[in-house]
Amino acid sequence: MSRLGFALSGLLAAFRSEPSFRLQVLAACAAIITALWLRPPVVWLALVVVMSALVLAAELVNTALEHALDGLHSERAGFVRIAKDCAAASVLVLSLAAVAVYLLMLFEMYFA
C-alpha cells in the first residue's frame, strides 16, 4: 500500500470510529463553505482553511495517541491519563484559535 493509501486509511478509520473527528470535519466544512459564501479577502479564507486543517490534524494526532496508549498500557496509569488529556487540550486550544480567527474575519468584514 502506498503512503497516500496509509494516510487515507487513517482518515477513514478516524472518521468511522471517532465522533469528535466527524464533528470537527463538519465544523471545518461549515466554516469553509460559509467563508466562501461570504467572500472575504483571500488571506482570511486562507486562514480559515489553514486553521480548519490544523484542528483536524490535531484531532488525528489525538486519536492516534489515544489508540497507541490504550494498546500499550491498558490500565489507568496516571501518565496515560495526563498524555491523553494534554492531547485533547491541544485540540481544544486549536479549536478556540480557529473560532477566534473566524470571528476576527467577520469583525473585519462587517465592523471595521
**pLDDT tens for the 112 residues of the chain, in order:** 699 999 999 999 999 999 999 999 999 999 999 999 999 999 999 999 999 999 999 999 999 999 999 888 777 788 899 999 999 999 999 999 999 999 999 999 999 8
Domain hosting residue 17, numbered range: 3-111
Q: What is the pTM of this model?
A: 0.93
Q: 88 is written with which cell numbers?
A: 485533547
Residue 108 annotated as catalytic: no
pLDDT at 76: 76
| Cα–Cα distance, 105 to 112 (Å, whole number) | 10
Task: Say if residues 98 and 109 touch (Cβ distance below 8 Å).
Answer: no
Could you tell me how many residues make up the chain?
112
Q: How many domains does the chain have?
A: 1
Catalytic residue from among 59, 66, 75, 108 = 59
| CATH classification of the domain holding 52 | 1.10.287.3610
